[in-house]
Chain A
């Protein structure tokens, strides 16, 4: 490969790996470790087949769990039970890694101008995209195969583990395709990232709807295939081909789009904007709002759709409970109403994590502004540090709270319309959604603290979310002490509407968030900027 449009691909693959080695290694290691922990812990938790079947039936009887993780197709399969969370939810985390990598090596490079620097060397026009695909595909394999190996080591059957690992590789390839297509859409790396995240989110949501009510929808999304692969009962090997076909189709599409546009441009030509600023664009807060308004709009729309769909599936969960065992479990939980409330509470806990991500993204943007020199431009005017920092925090915190309200209202609306009872649901679900806010504030405040130490440290905010989610997912499985599990603020908010509102934890979380913000400000006001 020394000439033509692919010239330099191998060189770029090496360069990409040089940049990804820490991120991809940590991410991959975490995934493999969690898979091993799940595989190894399950057989000791449920020593007899009877225990396993009972646990599996309890999962299938809980629409909240099925909506989050997908059903267990064969209740006698130890592997399916052990991989409950790995099969779908962790596939999303696998997919997220590859979307991040693809965007990083294609659109971000173009936006920063580094791609142009490379374009002036003996690097072929198609090499950047090709190398990103090659490198991240290799990483997908490097995560999938060890996953299969540790599952075997954890006591699961070989054939099933291979199928499972291959399923993760398949999801990885599809995500690479999604990332590649999304990176062609817009000249803005942020918009491209949002498009990719939206596609992943929609695919996950479709599966949740499919698994709980409209069953054929599960076949319309790659996350549904993860369950339908039936890795550990009677593997449908041909499902792996679905991933491959979809990935090839997406990559072909991405290449076609790439060849039709210029370096640095999006599919839609850049339109001129206003020559004058709106009269209100006068201070740091107005600037932050102006910069983040498109993001807030997209997030609002996305959480509204997500909430409405999640709300709409709630009244239909009864269909799921047609087995004897399921009805037994439901009765123990306190009847149909209790099951619906549990599903809503589970949905809202996911929403809380999602809106925290919005807040972190705003803080991270503040860090990027400082690193790029835009903050310097603002602070050289009559704008004080307090106003600039405060504007970022305000948009992050109120934005996250607003999104919780939007999703709560949307869940209530979806639930009310399908259940035929709009009105009452708002009073119950909207407060339940807002009760999650203090946990989100704490996480956003942690990101702000990292930002106040150093602009490039905002990435620690993402680390905090990842840690709390992982603790919530596998902490109990690993038998971690309650103190460690309690590190996650999400465990302290009352799980409304199942539980009643609790003042003390909410006040404590709010106080912690306020204290963190106070410390952040003390640090930010005295540190060097830029």
Chain B
């Protein structure tokens, strides 16, 4: 694997007494779609703004394309496209003018055919003035501007929060097109299904710190499986086993969450009790997410 496109280590950012980023680590490899997950106020946008050189960092290191976001701002920006979470447009510029302006400011020439195709895909009217667009349409203006050029990196901050489900599909297709040609994507979101569909690796952030990072497969491997089973013989006592949580017994039905390394023992016990039906569900990202957010004294150093 070549050098990371985004490499953040121990990033600290303070706003007065408030520590918005508290030693954040984040690494995004070339060509991957990296999900950046966290609840509102976790520090996702602050991280992105630090990566864009809009904020000065108070500690740790950050690099994009191996360059310093604060010193080499313009050189970095020529190679990326950014869509903020809350897009504000110039009230008296039309959407089309804004798209062309942003494209040119990035140093690329607008490609009318491609721009036209994107406008059609997103069903966006480019002749409306900025003040007349709804939230979703403002977001589409920024998305069309971002997708209309072949940049090396896309930084998308909650990009679909104002889009309807149909447009989310269009968005997913566009991201797929760009990754197919080798672009790297940092996708910040609190919409888990969106990240689950697009991202190969995720970083979960809480209170300005990365609490989980890894590929979806790795994270699942580390996490619990939800099991629900019906047995024919006496219900075995699983409560005594290490790694079994949230145990519930209802007649012959058993349900519980099982740590990966306890799975074998649980299954053995169930088989011994004459299992009649069994469902096991891998944890959804939602559960990983909630798990990571849960204020867990053991994990808080």
Give chain A's interface residues, CB within 8 Å of chain B. Answer: 111, 187-188, 270, 272-278, 281-284, 287, 290-291, 294, 372-374, 376-385, 526-530
Contact = CB atoms under 8 A, between A and B. Distances in A.
B107 interface: yes
22 contacts: A273-B96, A273-B127, A273-B128, A274-B94, A276-B110, A277-B101, A277-B104, A281-B97, A281-B101, A290-B93, A373-B88, A374-B88, A377-B82, A377-B88, A380-B52, A380-B80, A381-B77, A383-B77, A385-B73, A527-B56, A529-B55, A530-B49
Given A187-B131, A372-B88, A381 B102 contact: yes
B74 A384 contact: yes
Given A273-B127, A277-B97, A383 B105 contact: yes
Contacts of B132: 270
Contact of A384 (B73, B84, B90, B129): B73
A393 B96 CA distance: 26
Contacts of B125: 272
Contact of B49 (A283, A376, A383): A376
Interface of B: 49, 52-56, 73-74, 77-78, 80, 82, 84, 86-94, 96-102, 104-107, 110, 112, 125-129, 131-132, 142, 155
A362 B91 CA distance: 15
Nearest to B97: A277
Given A270-B129, A274-B96, A281-B97, A376 B107 contact: no
B54 A376 contact: yes
A380 B102 CA distance: 9
A304 B15 CA distance: 47
Contacts of B126: 275-276
A178 B46 CA distance: 44
Contacts of B89: 374
Main secondary structure of the interface of A (DSSP, over half): loop
Nearest to A280: B104
B90 A277 contact: no
A378 B105 contact: yes
Nearest to A286: B101
B94 A275 contact: yes
Contacts of B106: 381-382
A94 B25 CA distance: 56
A284 B90 CA distance: 13
A107 to B, nearest CB: 12
A291 B87 contact: no
Nearest to B116: A275
Contact of B86 (A272, A277, A373): A373
Contacts of A530: 49, 54-55
Contacts of A111: 91, 131
A348 B131 CA distance: 37
Contacts of B94: 272-275
Contacts of A272: 94, 125, 127-128
Contacts of B54: 376, 379-380, 528-530
Contacts of B128: 270, 272-273
Nearest to A113: B135
Contact of A275 (B87, B96, B102, B142): B96
A284 B104 CA distance: 11
A111 B94 CA distance: 16
A378 B107 CA distance: 12
* Residue among A272, A291, A377 with max Cβ neighbours from chain B (10 Å): A377
A277 B92 contact: no
Contact of A373 (B84, B92, B110): B84
Nearest to A385: B73
Contacts of A287: 90, 101
A439 to B, nearest CB: 31
A372 B88 CA distance: 6
A273 B49 CA distance: 32
A397 to B, nearest CB: 21
Given A382-B77, A384-B73, A384-B74, A281 B100 contact: yes
A374 B104 CA distance: 16
Given A272-B128, A380-B52, A281 B104 contact: yes
B92 A294 contact: yes
Given A275-B96, A373-B88, 11 more contacts: A111-B131, A275-B126, A277-B101, A282-B101, A282-B105, A283-B105, A291-B93, A377-B82, A379-B73, A382-B107, A384-B74
A188 B131 contact: yes
A377 B107 contact: no
Contacts of B88: 372-374, 377
Contacts of B78: 382
Nearest to B49: A530
Contacts of B84: 373, 376-377, 380
Nearest to B80: A380
A373 B99 CA distance: 16
A344 B94 CA distance: 43
A276 B97 contact: yes
Contacts of B56: 526-528
Contacts of B92: 188, 291, 294
Contacts of B87: 373, 377
B280 to A, nearest CB: 45
B90 to A, nearest CB: 6
A376 B50 CA distance: 12
A271 to B, nearest CB: 8
Contacts of A527: 56
A377 B97 contact: no
Contacts of B80: 380
A384 B70 CA distance: 11
A377 B78 CA distance: 13
Given A273-B97, A275-B94, A528-B54, A381 B131 contact: no
Contacts of B74: 382-384
